Structure 1
Amino acid sequence: MEKEIVVVTGPTASGKSAACDIIADDLNCRVINCDSKQIYRGVPILTDQPVPVRDIHKLYGYVEPTQNYSAGLWLQDVKREVQQAWDDNVLPVITGGSGMYINSLVNGISDIPAIDPEVRKTARNLLESLGNAAFYEALVARDSNAARLHHNNTHQILRAFEVLEQTGTSIFTWWERSPRIKPFENCKVLVLLPPRNKLYDKINRRFLTMMQTDAISEVKYLMSLNLPMHAPVMKAHGAPEIVQYLQGKIEFMEAVEIAQKNTRHYAKRQCTWFRTQLPCDTRFFSSQNEIIDHVLAQYASKYPRTHTQPHN
């Protein structure tokens, strides 16, 4: 059987995860996470992980919030899960909206040397003490190429600083010197892009529901770990606003409204990225039903649903 991979992506709250769960009811497939926040353990509501997690779900809630994790490590994990799905004659369906993970999946990543833990710690401490704006200025002063990065993209500017500190060479030079090697040659990328008004309405409703369930207690748990605010899990949608609410700096509804607005802005940036940065043969869909029907029409005869339990 041909080794196939389906990637179902789209902006936050687009309904891609629910679509994949419906697909899994009629297709012998494995749903593999491609969201950089849903990897974390202990925060299923805050990061909108599948509840309950079924046997078909892979790479959800398996990384400790305190652990240093990267797109490179995720790529190693996803390669393992994809190979296991192929070995089991099951279709791997990779879903999530993290551009960094999707980019590494469809384009590969450069072979940059590992960062020493002390260098990583120094960089994070400097970011914490200076703040994003001053840290970005310090980085650009040492590496003018870094001006091509967005000053609010904490992960990218931190990564660029670490690479420069570790190797003495710009991360852009490493990218040019070390061509990316695609991990897979057969990814079929499908993007769910609902109408903007429907997407924004769902973002607003979903966050209010999260706040009324366990999102606040999950953020309390993260705060108990004494994580810095620039830690990846602390940048989950709503986490910064909930922290401010718990610290008494803003009111409940103010936290809700700010988080809703920030999430809408993030979704808008995601939509732009999906339209401009994905392979030319990417397919776009405006509704859940469209993307579900497409996947089932393409793969149902090859991967008929069975009652056997997938590999754990």
Structure 2
Amino acid sequence: MEKEIVVVTGPTASGKSATCDIIANDLNCRVINCDSKQIYRGVPILTDQPVPVRDIHKLYGYVEPTQNYSAGLWLQDVKREVQQAWDDNVLPVITGGSGMYINSLVNGISDIPAIDPEVRKTARNLLESLGNAAFYEALVARDSNAARLHHNNTHQILRAFEVLEQTGTSIFTWWERSPRIKPFENCEVLVLLPPRNKLYDKINRRFLTMMQTDAISEVKYLMSLNLPMHAPVMKAHGAPEIVQYLQGKIEFMEAVEIAQKNTRHYAKRQCTWFRTQLPCDTRFFSSQNEIIDHVLAQYASKYPKTHTQPHN
């Protein structure tokens, strides 16, 4: 059987996960996570993981919040899960909206030397003491190319600083020197882009629902781990605002409104990224039904639904 992969991506709250679960009802497939926050254990509500997680779901809630993790490690994990799906003759459906993970999936990762733990610790301590804005300015002062990075993308600016500190060379130079090798060849990328008003309404409603369930308890759990605010899991939508609320710095509704606004802005940046950074043969859809109809039309005859339990 031909080795095929379907990627269903889109901005936060666009309905990617629900779309894939509906597809899985009619297709023999495995749903593999491509969201950099949904990998973390103990925060299913905060990160909007599938509830309950079914046997078809892979790479959800399996990384400890305290663990150092990267797109490179995720790519190793996803290669394993994709190969297992192929071995089981089921279709791998990779879903999530993290640009860093999507980029590594469709374009590969440059071969940059491993960062020494002490260099990583020094960089993170400096970020913690300076804050994002001053840390970004210090990075750009040493590497003008870093101005191409967004100052609020903590992961990217931290990574750029670490590489510069470790090697003395800009991360952009490393990217140019080391041609990326695509991990998969036959990868169909489908993007769900609902109308903006519907997307923003979903974001607002979803965050209210999160706050009324266990999101606050999950953030209390993260705070009990004494994680720095720049830790990846602490960047989950709503986490910084809930921390401020729990610390008594802002009121409950203020936390809700700020988190909703920040998440809407993030979704807008995601939409721009999807339109400009994905392969030219990427297909865009405005509704769940359009994607579902397309996937079933393309793959249902090749991967008919069976009652065989997937590999665990």
| TM-score bucket (shorter structure) | over 0.9
Q: What CA distance in whole angstroms lies between the structure 1 residues aligned with 2:147 and 2:251?
A: 36
1:239, distance to aligned residue in structure 2 (A): 0.2
1:141, distance to aligned residue in structure 2 (A): 1.6
Q: What CA distance in whole angstroms lies between the structure 2 residues aligned with 1:285 and 1:172?
A: 32
Q: What CA distance in whole angstroms lies between the structure 1 residues aligned with 2:262 and 2:133?
A: 18
Q: Which residue of 1 aligns with 2:105?
A: 105
Q: What CA distance in whole angstroms lies between the structure 1 residues aligned with 2:205 and 2:147?
A: 37
Question: What secondary structure, in the 3-state scheme, does the structure 2 residue paired with 1:11 have?
Answer: coil
Q: What CA distance in whole angstroms lies between the structure 2 residues aligned with 1:143 and 1:276?
A: 25
1:139, distance to aligned residue in structure 2 (A): 1.0
Q: What CA distance in whole angstroms lies between the structure 1 residues aligned with 2:288 and 2:137?
A: 43
1:307, distance to aligned residue in structure 2 (A): 0.4
Q: What CA distance in whole angstroms lies between the structure 1 residues aligned with 2:131 and 2:285?
A: 39
Question: What secondary structure, in the 3-state scheme, does the structure 2 residue paired with 1:6 have?
Answer: strand
1:146, distance to aligned residue in structure 2 (A): 1.2
Q: What CA distance in whole angstroms lies between the structure 2 residues aligned with 1:193 and 1:170?
A: 34
Q: What CA distance in whole angstroms lies between the structure 2 residues aligned with 1:79 and 1:268?
A: 30
> Which consecutive residues of structure 2, in runs of 5 or more, have no partner in the other structure?
none
Question: What secondary structure, in the 3-state scheme, does the structure 2 residue paired with 1:93 have?
Answer: strand
Question: What secondary structure, in the 3-state scheme, does the structure 2 residue paired with 1:127 have?
Answer: helix
1:91, distance to aligned residue in structure 2 (A): 0.2
Question: What secondary structure, in the 3-state scheme, does the structure 2 residue paired with 1:39 have?
Answer: coil
Q: What CA distance in whole angstroms lies between the structure 1 residues aligned with 2:189 and 2:145?
A: 31
> Which consecutive residues of structure 1, in runs of 5 or more, have no partner in the other structure?
none
- Deviations 1:222-267, CA, capped at 9 Å, x for gaps: 0000000000000000000000000001110110000000000000
Question: What secondary structure, in the 3-state scheme, does the structure 1 residue paired with 2:302 have?
Answer: coil
Question: What secondary structure, in the 3-state scheme, does the structure 1 residue paired with 2:84 have?
Answer: helix
Q: What CA distance in whole angstroms lies between the structure 2 residues aligned with 1:147 and 1:199?
A: 30
Question: What secondary structure, in the 3-state scheme, does the structure 1 residue paired with 2:49 have?
Answer: coil
1:168, distance to aligned residue in structure 2 (A): 1.2
Q: Which segment drifts farther, 169-178 or 212-221?
A: 169-178
Question: What secondary structure, in the 3-state scheme, does the structure 2 residue paired with 1:7 have?
Answer: strand
RMSD: 0.6
Q: What CA distance in whole angstroms lies between the structure 2 residues aligned with 1:154 and 1:111?
A: 21
1:153, distance to aligned residue in structure 2 (A): 1.2
Q: What CA distance in whole angstroms lies between the structure 2 residues aligned with 1:300 and 1:128?
A: 50
Q: Which residue of 2 aligns with 1:298?
A: 298
Q: What CA distance in whole angstroms lies between the structure 2 residues aligned with 1:221 and 1:210?
A: 15
1:193, distance to aligned residue in structure 2 (A): 0.5
Q: What CA distance in whole angstroms lies between the structure 2 residues aligned with 1:149 and 1:295?
A: 35
Question: What secondary structure, in the 3-state scheme, does the structure 2 residue paired with 1:60 have?
Answer: coil
- Deviations 1:25-84, CA, capped at 9 Å, x for gaps: 100000000000000000000000000000000000000000000000000000000000
Provide the TM-score with structure 2 as the length reference.
0.99
1:16, distance to aligned residue in structure 2 (A): 0.8
| Dislocated runs of 4+, deviation >6 Å | none
1:133, distance to aligned residue in structure 2 (A): 1.1
Question: What secondary structure, in the 3-state scheme, does the structure 1 residue paired with 2:190 have?
Answer: strand
1:275, distance to aligned residue in structure 2 (A): 0.7
| Residue correspondence of structure 1 range 30-69 to structure 2 within 5 A | 30-69=30-69
1:302, distance to aligned residue in structure 2 (A): 0.2
Q: Which segment drifts farther, 115-124 or 141-150?
A: 141-150
Q: Which segment drifts farther, 32-41 or 164-173?
A: 164-173
Q: Which residue of 1 aligns with 2:212?
A: 212
Q: What CA distance in whole angstroms lies between the structure 1 residues aligned with 2:109 and 2:63?
A: 21
Provide the TM-score with structure 1 as the length reference.
0.99
Q: What CA distance in whole angstroms lies between the structure 2 residues aligned with 1:153 and 1:102?
A: 16
1:137, distance to aligned residue in structure 2 (A): 1.3
| Residue correspondence of structure 1 range 1-312 to structure 2 within 5 A | 1-312=1-312
Question: What secondary structure, in the 3-state scheme, does the structure 1 residue paired with 2:19 have?
Answer: helix
1:144, distance to aligned residue in structure 2 (A): 1.6
1:145, distance to aligned residue in structure 2 (A): 1.4
Q: Percent identity?
A: 99
Q: What CA distance in whole angstroms lies between the structure 2 residues aligned with 1:164 and 1:227?
A: 25
1:140, distance to aligned residue in structure 2 (A): 1.4
1:209, distance to aligned residue in structure 2 (A): 0.2
1:148, distance to aligned residue in structure 2 (A): 1.5
Q: What CA distance in whole angstroms lies between the structure 1 residues aligned with 2:97 and 2:53?
A: 18
Q: What CA distance in whole angstroms lies between the structure 1 residues aligned with 2:164 and 2:118?
A: 14
Question: What secondary structure, in the 3-state scheme, does the structure 2 residue paired with 1:188 have?
Answer: strand
